[in-house]
Amino acid sequence: MGRRARESQEINAGSMADIAFLLLIFFLVTTTMDTDTGLTRVLPPYIDEKTQEPPPPVNARNVFVVLANANDNMLVEDEYMQIEDLKDAAKEFIIGRPNDLANEKFPDFKKVEDPDLIKYFGANQMISKQIISLQNDRGTSYDLYVQIQDQLAIAYREARDEMSVEKFGVSYTELSKSDKEEDKDKAAAIKALIPQRISEAEPKDIDQARIAAGRSN
């Protein structure tokens, strides 16, 4: 009697593994282990054109102009350029010629009051007035735009790396990855020495009007 009662309580678990396998395969197939990567940027706050004060004039020698047109051609500092050459040209401009300020092709230098900078380089350290201005047409392909953004970011990083190796013997990339307070300060100093200044032109309404007119034709 007792033996029979115990037997009736047992469940046949032989198919358990099969069921589990089935579910496992389902989840294996549906899982997407995609990691999202991309270029993170911060947009400037919106300014209404009517209330906007005209921006302060910038000396042309301090601006590195990158233009991209609807045919995906690029004009850099009034010269036709391929995307492969953009990084080196931008890097050369970012670093500038601090010992040859008479050279009008490279940006001017100025003194700034920045505690991060003074800590390592003293109060007389000059920094470049460089600005990179990026202007694109509404017909420029998104691909080219991303390539330009990418190459400019790499140009800044490599310029900082070189500067950091020269001043501290360690690259900026490594300094910014480090957890040490000293390294963080050094990274901040390099960042203050070569600030990333990429300015995107405000889209113009004229372009929209022109394109609208073009469509109706």
Partner 1 sequence: MSTASLPDIVFMLLFFFMVTTVMRETSLKVVHVLPKAQDVAKLERKSLVAYIHIGPPIKALQSIYGTEPRVQLDDAFASTKDIPTFVEKVKSETNEQEVPMLTYSLKVDAEAKMGIVTDVKQELRKANALKINYSCIRKEQKKSGI
In whole angstroms, the minimum distance from the beta carbon of 41 to partner 1 comes to 6
Q: Which single residue is written with the structure tokens 């230098």?
A: 109
- In eight-state DSSP terms, residue 169 is S
Size of residue set near partner 1 by CB under 8 A: 48
Q: How do 63-68 and 74-76 pair as beta strands? A: antiparallel
Quick check: 171 binds partner 1 (CB under 8 A)?
A: yes
Q: Which of 38, 56, 57, 122 binds partner 1 (CB under 8 A)?
A: 38
Among 5, 39, 102, 206, binds partner 1 (CB under 8 A): 39
Q: Measured in whole angstroms, how far is the alpha carbon of residue 46 from the centre of its chain?
A: 20
Local structure of 210: helix, strand or coil = helix
Which residues lie closer than 8 Å to 152 by C-beta, 6 or more apart? 66, 86, 87, 90, 132, 134, 198
Identity of the residue, 123 or 146, whose beta carbon is nearer to partner 1 in the bound complex: 146
- Please name the amino acid found at residue 115: P
Q: Does 149 bind partner 1 (CB under 8 A)?
A: yes
Please pick, from the candidates 58, 101, 123, 146, the single residue that binds partner 1 as defined by CB under 8 A.
Answer: 146
110 and 127 in contact (C-beta within 8 Å)? yes
How far is Cα 82 from Cα 75, in angstroms, rounded to an integer?
Answer: 9
Q: What is the DSSP letter of 10?
A: -
Please pick, from the candidates 9, 37, 51, 217, the single residue that binds partner 1 as defined by CB under 8 A.
37
Query: By C-beta, is 34 or 79 nearer to partner 1?
Result: 34
66: its two tokens: 């990158």
Residues 51-110 contacting partner 1, CB under 8 A: none
**Near partner 1 by CB under 8 A: residue from 8, 12, 40, 51:** 40
Sign of CA dihedral 169, 174, 176, 182: negative
Which residues of this protein are in contact with partner 1, per CB under 8 A? 13, 16-17, 20-21, 23-24, 27-28, 30-33, 35-46, 136-143, 145-147, 149-150, 153-154, 157-158, 161-162, 165, 171, 203, 211
